[in-house]
Amino acid sequence: MMNREDQIMQQKNVKVIRGLYVGRFQPYHLGHQEVIKKISKEVDEIIIVIGSAEESHTIKDPFTAGERVVMICNSLGDLRGKCYVIPLRNINRFAVWVAHLLSMVPKFDIVYSNNHLVTQLFEESGFEVRKSPMFDRTVMSGTRIRQMMKSGENWSHLVPREVLLEIEKVRGVERLKKIMENDI
């Protein structure tokens, strides 16, 4: 039988495998949720990076970083204890983007992405990159969901309930319609 000190030493020697998943989450939807569930079967912890955190109140990025943090954290359920949700300001100098990200997040082992630029930047920096699973991309797309919000179509079935509640709380549909109205 191990004493407490031996147990602590053994725990320190156990390698925790972390995955990194980057997205804008405008809004966080059920496709994102499925990706995170799949990733959770391959790693011990997930770092969810909210990209373009400085952007909000635009057609492409209507929600603030804080709103997106709430959407994601409230939707994680049982996975909440194994995820870090970190907003990241974008920098448009791709040669140093990975270094910028590394300075803002815990260490990780595997990057999950289907974005060609993200994949290329991490591969060039020596990271293992795995393709994220795709879930009905014709509908499970932030762009498509925002279009549905604007046009008054039913989109609520495409997001976790917690996301719907946050969007209602911040009057996100009204915000998006107003932004699109002003942009025309």
pLDDT digits (tens, 9 = 90+) for 123-174: 999 999 999 877 777 778 999 999 999 999 999 999 999 999 999 999 999 9
Q: How far is CA 53 from the centre of its chain?
A: 11
- Report d(CA 86, CA 106) in Å as an integer: 10
pLDDT tens for 83-99 read 999 999 999 899 999 99
Question: If phi over 0 gives left and psi between -120 and 50 gives alpha, with beta otherwise, what is residue 16?
Answer: beta
Domain 16-183: which CATH number of 3.30.390.50, 3.20.20.10, 3.40.50.2000, 3.40.50.620: 3.40.50.620
Strands 83-87 and 128-130: unpaired
Q: Are 80 and 102 in contact (CB under 8 A)?
A: no
- Report d(CA 140, CA 137) in Å as an integer: 5
The β-bridge partners of 83 are 46
CA angle 45, 49, 51 (to 5 degrees): 170
DSSP state of 14: S
Model confidence band, residue 20 (pLDDT cutoffs 50, 70, 90)? very high
CA angle 68, 117, 86 (to 5 degrees): 25
Model confidence band, residue 6 (pLDDT cutoffs 50, 70, 90)? low
The confidence score (pLDDT) of residue 3 equals 63
Segment 103-117 shows an average pLDDT of 96
Question: Average pLDDT of the chain?
Answer: 92
Model confidence band, residue 29 (pLDDT cutoffs 50, 70, 90)? very high
The model carries a pTM of: 0.89
Closest CA to 92 of 54, 36, 123, 59: 54
The confidence score (pLDDT) of residue 180 equals 84
